[in-house]
């Protein structure tokens, strides 16, 4: 089956990071995504390119009016257009929302930026780390007394960026079914990372969260929600928050539950942590993985990027695909009636050229002019 988004047409103006991630998600679920690459852009086509998979590519020089005319013609036939330039760039190119909506009033115009389309920082450069720095997310991650630790670029680029844009696009498409009108989706990584931090802002306001690293239940302060080093230098993750799970943790560690009746008292946490650390450090990771395998103790081995695709649960679920000499995540989430197909590999820059434009209904004369033929 082609996935639940079969029939959805998306024009992607090539970018980096969150925009491609958004379009990957749409393509994974069956959308027809046509990426407009720069003629001098990255060559593409690597079988291990996860973010570039699932779409076709046309290379167009957007400094040429013929190329702009072709993109407007594509927008006229599309349901969605995605761009990730700084505010005002597509307007100067002649591809802004007004120009596109003049051709296609139903178009959902997705805009992906770090700071958003307005505000004092809108035109300033940035990266994931700078965006999450201004929303409290970066401050909250790391050990007490140490510097904040970047959580890869999961919070800004991907969760608070590309995934937020995909969510916004689908919401706008739903609304367009009723109104018959498209609109602009202004997805900013600052907004998205703030949304991801919503639960913690709420707990802070209720006095249930301390505004300091490693001082709370879920940020490494709690000894039964943390990681521990094993005798072989590998790690296990422990998340035994509820009483029944904590009891199973103690059973696996060979500890008497009666000694831990006051486990929720933060004053006891350092002593509990020291005891847990000594026990976990006495055996290798695989020993503990075996002890807690299939248990509700919420203990798991911390797997690296090469180990994770080989874990039996991930294998059974088909969570990863073998691609390009390695692994990459399969499309998610899962659908009972319209499951997604295995995604196409990432295309080489401009590989689909005239054929893709013709499939979208552009006339031969326009295609030749756009491609410089």
- Give yes or no: 127 in active site: yes
Task: Give 340's DSSP letter.
Answer: P
Ordered by where they begin, the domains of the chain are 9-197+322-370 (3.40.50.10540), 235-301 (3.30.1540.10)
CB atoms within 10 A of CB 56: 21
Of the candidates 46, 61, 127, 311, the residue annotated as catalytic is 127
Distance between CA atoms of residues 88 and 81, nearest Å: 15
Distance between CA atoms of residues 122 and 158, nearest Å: 19
Tens-digit pLDDT string for the chain (373 aa): 689 999 999 999 999 999 999 999 999 999 999 999 999 989 999 999 999 999 999 999 999 999 999 999 999 999 999 999 999 999 999 999 999 999 999 999 999 999 999 999 999 999 999 999 999 999 999 999 999 999 999 999 999 999 999 999 999 999 999 999 999 999 999 999 999 999 999 999 999 999 999 999 999 999 999 999 999 999 999 999 999 999 999 999 999 999 999 999 999 999 999 999 999 999 999 999 999 999 999 999 999 999 999 999 999 999 999 988 899 999 999 999 999 999 999 999 999 999 999 999 999 999 999 998 6
CB atoms within 10 A of CB 308: 15
Q: How many residues does the chain have?
A: 373
Q: Are 174 and 106 in contact (CB under 8 A)?
A: no
> What would the two tokens of residue 268 be?
């006891």
Among residues 192, 217, 210, the alpha carbon closest in space to that of 137 is found at 192
> What would the two tokens of residue 6 be?
């079969």
Distance between CA atoms of residues 61 and 46, nearest Å: 22
- Give yes or no: 157 in active site: yes
Q: Cβ-count burial of 2 within 10 angstroms (0-12 exposed, 13-18 middle, 19+ buried)?
A: middle
Of the candidates 157, 191, 219, 352, the residue annotated as catalytic is 157
Q: Is beta strand 225-229 parallel, antiparallel or unpaired with respect to 235-239?
A: antiparallel
Number of H helices, E strands in the chain: 14, 11
Among residues 198, 121, 125, the alpha carbon closest in space to that of 159 is found at 198
């Amino acid at each position: 089956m082609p996935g639940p988004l079969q029939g959805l047409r998306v024009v992607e103006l090539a970018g980096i990071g969150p925009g491609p991630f958004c379009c990957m998600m749409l393509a994974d679920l069956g959308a027809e995504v046509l990426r407009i690459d720069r003629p001098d852009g990255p060559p593409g086509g690597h079988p291990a390119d996860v973010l570039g998979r699932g779409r076709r590519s046309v290379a167009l020089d957007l400094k040429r009016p013929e190329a702009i005319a072709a993109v407007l013609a594509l927008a006229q036939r599309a349901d969605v257009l995605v761009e990730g330039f700084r505010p005002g760039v597509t307007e100067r190119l002649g591809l802004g929302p007004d120009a596109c909506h003049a051709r296609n009033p139903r178009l959902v115009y997705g805009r992906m930026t770090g700071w958003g389309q307005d505000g004092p920082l809108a035109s300033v450069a940035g990266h994931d780390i700078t965006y999450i720095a201004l929303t409290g997310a970066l401050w909250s991650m790391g050990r007490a007394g140490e510097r904040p630790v970047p959580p890869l670029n999961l919070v800004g680029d991907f969760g608070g960026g590309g995934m937020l844009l995909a969510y916004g696009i689908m919401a706008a498409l739903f609304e367009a079914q009723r109104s018959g009108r498209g609109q602009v989706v202004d997805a900013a990584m600052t907004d998205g990372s703030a949304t991801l931090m919503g639960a913690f802002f709420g707990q802070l306001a209720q006095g249930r969260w301390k505004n300091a690293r490693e001082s709370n239940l879920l940020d490494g302060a709690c000894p039964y929600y943390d990681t521990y080093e094993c005798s072989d230098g590998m790690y296990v993750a422990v998340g035994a928050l509820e009483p029944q799970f904590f009891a199973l943790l103690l059973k696996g560690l060979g500890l008497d539950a009666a000694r831990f009746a006051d486990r929720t008292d933060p004053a006891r946490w350092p002593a509990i942590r020291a005891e847990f650390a000594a026990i976990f450090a006495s055996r290798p990771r695989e020993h503990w993985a075996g002890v807690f395998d299939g248990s509700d103790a919420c203990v798991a081995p911390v797997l690296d990027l090469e180990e994770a695709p080989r874990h039996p649960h991930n294998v059974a679920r088909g969570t990863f695909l073998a691609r390009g000499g390695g692994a990459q995540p399969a499309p998610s989430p899962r659908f009972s009636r319209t499951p997604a197909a295995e995604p196409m590999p990432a295309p080489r820059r401009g590989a689909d050229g005239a054929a893709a434009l013709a499939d979208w209904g552009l006339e031969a004369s326009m295609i030749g002019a756009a491609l410089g033929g």
